[in-house]
Each structure stands twice: as structure tokens, then as C-alpha cells.
Amino acid sequence: MKILVINGPNLNMLGKRDKEIYGDKTLAEIESLLKKQGKALAIEVITFQSNSEGALIDFIQEQSNSADGIIINPGALTHYGFSLRDALADSGLPIIEVHLSNIYAREEWRAKSVIAPVAKGNISGLGWRGYIAALRTLVAELKGEDV
């Protein structure tokens, strides 16, 4: 089983960005934790980050045929990334949307996600642990296990 973990704009700056909102872990640390969890679940975790919507779409189109599911933190593209949304929908894969901060407790414009309608679920506000929860949940569902 292969799960794609995709991170959008500015997430490469984790560990340097506002730590009160985004925590102090770097993206590399989060990816390492995800790969360790993937190994424990006997699955492959492929990570990708880009500040470019086009690169994210290219990655999804190139990788989705050999993947079983997607975990995505679209960053600011959450609110206006319609072409990213379409690529995710076209993948035909189950998707879990993840946000480090609680997007519903922040500015009003952050509470609207164009990705949510094509996602199986959304995890928001649990920091880096949200990625682990998404991975465990997605794998369990793909294996037909109780979540």
C-alpha cells in the first residue's frame, strides 16, 4: 500500500513560521515521523512539498495511478486552489485534508476549503499529530478495519 502525503505553499518553512500557530517541528521532522509510522503499518509513505500549485498537480497526476490514498495539507491553496481540487478529485483516491492549526478558529476566510468537498475527511488543529491520525485512519479504512 502506498500513501501520498502532499504539502502545499509555505509548509517548507515549518519550524521557522509562527510557532504559536504551526508548532516547532520542521516539515522534515513531520515527514520522518510519518515514514516511521508507515513502516510500523507496513505501508509506503511518499512525501512531496511545493510552493507551486502546478507542481502539486503534476505530482498528483504522476503518482495517483500507483497510490492508494492521499493526505494533503494544501496550505493557502485550501481556500482558492480550484485546479488542485480538480486534480485531487480526478485521482479517484480517498483523500484526507490536514491542517496544523484550527482553520475554523482563525480568520473568517480560512474557514472555507475548496478541497473539503472532495475529501473523505478533515483534521484541523491537532498540529503534527493530525498527520499521524490521518495516516492511521486512511490505512485502517483502506484495509477495511474499524477506525
H/E stretch holding 133 = helix 129-142
The one catalytic residue among 22, 79, 80, 131: 22
CA distance 99 to 135: 13
Of 73, 84, 95, 96, the closest CA to residue 14 belongs to 73
Of 50, 53, 47, the closest CA to residue 11 belongs to 50
Q: Which cell goes with 12?
A: 517548507
The one catalytic residue among 80, 99, 104, 131: 99
Residue 99 appears among annotated catalytic residues: yes
Residue 18 neighbours by CB under 8 Å, 6+ apart: none
Active site members: 22, 99
